Amino acid sequence: MKKSSLVCFIFCFLSLLVSPSPGQDQAEVTVTNIIVPVRVLEDRNFIDNLTAEEFELFEDGVPQKIEALYLVRNGMVERKEGDQDFMPRTTRNFHLLFQMTDYNPKLAEMIDHLFQQVLIAGDTLAIQTPMKNYSLSPQALASKTKKTLAEEMNSLLKKDIKTGSTEYNSLFRDLKRIVSSLSGTSLMADMEGDFSASSMGLENSLNRYRETVTKMEEQRLMDERKIIRFAHALKRIEGQKQVFLIYQREFRPEISPVVLNNLRSLYQENPAIMSGLQDLFQLYTRDLSVNVELLKKAFADASINFNFIFMNKVPEYVSGVVLREQSEDIFEAFSQITHATGGFVDTSQNPASSFKSAVENASVHYLLYYSPKNYQKDNKFKNIKVTVKKPSYTVQHRLGYFAN
């Protein structure tokens, strides 16, 4: 299993299995209430005047009766429908996860907005930087001014990003130097015709390149088990769980196709060099390292509102070097997790703007309560689908839950 740079995923997973009664091979039948946070949008504007009758809710394709509806805005219940009061837990728990290699000045604006415009009495906050985890209790939130807290948190974030990315950025600079050296080797050999000396240097450079790429990969790949433990830990927390992953786009220095073709032509009679060049293609190929379906179900089951802010950036120009996008697996996995939880995805060079949009999207929602027909504790995943009568509306909600 591959390592993860998202070091906040350190919680333990407690599996809850259902044992059949002695002498029986059947699941336990009981009655339970399921809560489904739902957002209904039209052109990204929340529709807040819907009634319970305008919703349709299905579990594994079976229509369910909606027992109650609550409209919740900024942690407060604004409207309620239904005879029974389920007393929803509306405490807001914010979790901000930063995976970045460069500090962006717009982060200061983002942190300031969080403290000045978002956090209110009763909220909790946990922040994970590339170096440490920080938590802010409701008592701490009341002990200092919001301006002071924002300034202190931004200072810590700036320091941790710079310190935590030192090794990664050092490897990145090494790769650029190696690729530049490889480009120069092929050109010098072509001009001078001294293949023996250049081949020794080339073989050594190829080995250094492969080792450095491997080290760089170990700095940023995901660990599926730790991510699932994180989801299960949040499941035990009552109230709203809003997670924001701020992930910075990454690039890997690679040898340009022109240089690679030149090297193949020059060293086609050298098996060691040709083998080293062939290994590059395996390094450049990355398969998705996690079971996305399993992660989607874990986050949906925990009723997490997961938001993914993908920070774009323009790659620098280096002669003879191709800076290849290497965030595709991260973007694919967490985009799918976001959709499975009814969250928000945005790609931008401005994290402050994206964060404001994500917070606004999460600030208001409906809570739908229902009791599944013939509910069984069979530990199976139950798929939920919510629709509204007006087809032009976009409906966001969690994918489902495990009956455990």
> Residue 122 pLDDT > 80, yes or no?
yes
Across 5-19, 173-187, 382-396, the highest mean pLDDT is recorded for 382-396
pLDDT surpassing 90 at residue 94:
yes
Residue 281 domain flag: yes
Residue 121 domain-assigned? yes
List, for residues 19-59, the tens digit of each pLDDT value.
Answer: 333 344 444 556 689 999 999 999 889 999 999 999 999 99
Query: How far apart, in Å, are the Cα atoms of 266 and each of 43, 177, 188, 392?
Result: 57, 21, 11, 61
Residue 9 lies in a domain: no
In-domain check, residue 59: yes
DSSP 21: P
* Average pLDDT over all residues of the chain: 84
User: Alpha-carbon distance 288 to 328, whole Å?
Assistant: 9
Domain housing 141: 33-402
Return the number of other C-beta atoms located less than 10 Å from residue 70's C-beta. Answer: 22
What does pTM read for this prediction?
Answer: 0.84
Does residue 17 lie in a domain region?
Answer: no
Of residues 239 and 19, which shows the higher confidence score?
239
Q: CB count, 10 Å around CB of 213?
A: 22
Contact 394, 344 (CB under 8 A): no
Domain assignment of residue 272, yes or no? yes
Distance CA 74, CA 119 (A): 9
Q: What is the pLDDT of residue 221?
A: 62
Higher pLDDT: 138 or 398? It is: 398
Tally of domains in the chain? 1
Question: Residue 157 and residue 107: Cα distance in Å, rounded?
Answer: 9
In a domain, 236, yes or no: yes
Lowest mean pLDDT segment, chosen from 84-88, 144-148, 265-269: 265-269
Q: What is the mean pLDDT of residues 264-293?
A: 78
In contact, 3 and 167? CB cutoff 8 Å = no
- Cβ density class 94-112: b for 16+ within 10 Å, e for less: bbbbbbbbebbebbbbbbb
Cα angle value 223/132/310 (rounded, 5°): 60
Residue matched to tokens 């003879």:
320
Report yes or no on 284 lying in a domain. Answer: yes
What was the pLDDT predicted at 184? 67
pLDDT at 185 over 90: no
